[in-house]
Amino acid sequence: MAGHPDEKPSNDGYPKETELLVDAANVIGSRPTGWWRDRAGAARTLVDQLRAAVDSGRIVQRVTVVLEGKARDAVQIGQIDGVMVVHAARGGDESLLEAIADAFGHAVVLVTADRELRRRAEALGAEVVGPGWLLAILG
C-alpha cells in the first residue's frame, strides 16, 4: 500500500471488513524508544495509540493486537474502543497465525517485520506490512 515516498501512509486501500492484526512485540521493538525498560508501559501506549487512531478514523478496519510476555500485564483482554486485545497463551507468533487461520473469509493484514512469521502468514493468505506503515499512521 505504499504511495509516493513523501506521502503519509494510509489504510484507505483496505476495505473495512479487513482485519488489522498487530504483532505488538514486533511493532514495539521496531524503534529504540527505551521500551525494554517498561515493556508493559510500551504495550499500553501502543494499544492507546491504536484506540485513538480507530476513534479518529485513521484506522477503519477491525483491529486485533496480540500481546505476549510482560506486555500482557498492562492491558486487559477484550474489545475496548474498537481494539480487540488478545493475550498470547503460547508464543505470540502462534496466536497470530491462529487468528489468520480463523479469519473465516475476511482479509487479514498482519503488521510485523518478522520474516519467518511473514512467510507463514502469507502462506495462510494474509497480506503483511511492516511496523513503519502502522507507526506512520499512528503518528
Q: What CATH number does residue 62 fall under?
A: 3.40.50
From first to last of its 139 residues, the chain has per-residue pLDDT tens of 333 333 334 455 555 578 999 999 999 999 888 888 898 999 999 999 999 999 999 998 899 999 998 888 888 888 999 999 999 987 889 999 999 998 877 899 999 999 999 999 999 999 999 999 999 999 8
Q: Is 12 domain-assigned?
A: no
Q: Is 121 domain-assigned?
A: yes
Q: Is 43 domain-assigned?
A: yes
Angle (CA) 111-51-86 rounded to 5° is 60
Q: Which domain holds residue 58?
A: 19-138
- DSSP annotation of 9 reads P
Q: Is 39 domain-assigned?
A: yes
Q: Within 13 Å of residue 117, how many CA atoms lie on the same side as its CB?
A: 24
Number of domains in the chain: 1
Q: Is 7 domain-assigned?
A: no
Q: Is 4 domain-assigned?
A: no
Q: Is 1 domain-assigned?
A: no
> Which pTM does this prediction carry?
0.84
